Chains A and B, each alone.
Chain A
Amino acid sequence: MPFRYNCRHRELAKGIWVKEPIIPITLAGKNGEKLDFTAILDSGSDFVLIPKEIADALGVDYANGLEIKSKTFDGLDFITRLATVNMEIKKGRERIPIQCRAAICTNGPDYHHIILGSSFFEKFEITFDYPRNKFVIKRR
């Protein structure tokens, strides 16, 4: 069953609005604890990117993960460590549990949302309809 979402509208300055493809996701921690966060879809990112604060709160084991050099779109270098994270998306009674490779941002930019990058996109068929403020996520 496809999961249908509306874009979030955010006013950056008076009269300047942007649309954001944000969804709620549930992340599962090492001890089984589940926490719900907002996450933004970004097909240009290579992995799911999780801020260190969130990974630490969940007890995600990333200390021994493969270190990956990373760079933001505006050229800022930072380091991530890879980990496997259990997460799920849900809508109504439908739930899709998935396991994703995630990069934990250890010394990098302070992202506001979890970024759902390529390692999330490869599990779904995602269709954007920005003129109608909608996007649809469907399991492959």
Chain B
Amino acid sequence: MNAEKSFDFFLKADFKGYDEDEWLAICRSKVVAHGADLRAVIAESKKLCGVERPLFTRVSKIAHYLHA
């Protein structure tokens, strides 16, 4: 199943080659699109993933303290 494979890849990947705050589109076990503009990343990944739905995430390399 694509969604689970994409999430497994997300759990293990370090994304060190991408910039902080970049949006990533993951399809199965690879990043198929990335960039600062989410809409553009969504559009690009849809072309490349076909019928499968990519998983979108954002690169984070800093510490987070949430409680929004």
Interface residues of A (CB under 8 A from B): 6, 8, 10-12, 18, 22, 24, 26, 34-38, 40, 42, 44-46, 49, 53-54, 56-57, 70, 72-74, 90-92, 103, 105, 108-113, 115, 117
Contacts and interface: CB of A to CB of B under 8 A. Distances in A.
B11 interface: yes
Contacts of A24: 3, 6-7, 10, 55
A12 B11 CA distance: 15
Interface of B: 1, 3-4, 6-7, 10-11, 14, 21, 38-39, 42, 53-68
Contacts of B59: 112
Contacts of A8: 10-11
Contact of B56 (A37, A46, A92, A111): A37
B54 to A, nearest CB: 7
A36 B56 contact: yes
Contacts of A103: 68
Nearest to B39: A57
Given A109-B68, A117-B68, 13 more contacts: A6-B11, A12-B62, A24-B10, A26-B53, A38-B55, A42-B67, A42-B68, A44-B67, A53-B39, A72-B65, A72-B67, A113-B58, A113-B60
A73 B38 contact: no
A22 B66 CA distance: 13
